[in-house]
Amino acid sequence: MKYDPVAKKTTVLLKGLAFPDGVALSNDNSFLLFAESTTMRIFRVWLRGPKARTSEVFAQLGRSPDNIKRNRNGEFWIALNTGRAVLKNLVHNKFGSQVVLPSWIADPVAVKFDRDGNVVGAVDGNGESTLESVSEVEEHGGTLWFGSAVKPYVGVMHQIDI
């Protein structure tokens, strides 16, 4: 939904979604991304420009996405909250073509995308319970912060080069 505070009007942008979740606005405010957890998809909704008021699948993931956070470079971290025991490799479907994450990522718990939908980073949970149920990933000053909706922790990964 979109709210116009001047007109005091709310407009529904998309209907019929399957468990919409995290949302993040692009650096230039031209689009927003949101997760549809049940279908394991990330959608892009164009807010400005020639595609304004249209939407498209930004990424088809192999795990259920949760929250989305934009970093200062305009890239998007997407937390992958569930399905760890079922799926070992995340397949990313970028606008119809599939790209598999690097082989060293066996248990992705977070994936970073650029504004064009390219995978530019990932965090491997290594099958351990430490990063189980990651629902939030925030990047700030070379550090990644992890949160969970069900686990009692805040995780920190220093000096990231992901």
Task: Convert the pLDDT of each residue in 2-37 to its tens digit.
Answer: 899 999 999 998 899 988 989 999 999 999 999 998
Q: Percentage of the chain with pLDDT > 70?
A: 83
* Domain spans of the chain, in order of start: 12-157
**Is residue 89 over pLDDT 50?**
no
Would you say domain 12-157 falls under CATH 2.120.10.30? Answer: yes
The pLDDT score that the predictor gives to residue 138 is 95
In 3-state terms, what secondary structure has residue 70?
strand
CA distance 93 to 68: 18
In 3-state terms, what secondary structure has residue 62?
coil
**What confidence category does residue 159 fall into, taking pLDDT thresholds of 50, 70 and 90?**
low
According to DSSP H, which parts of 3-149 are helical?
none
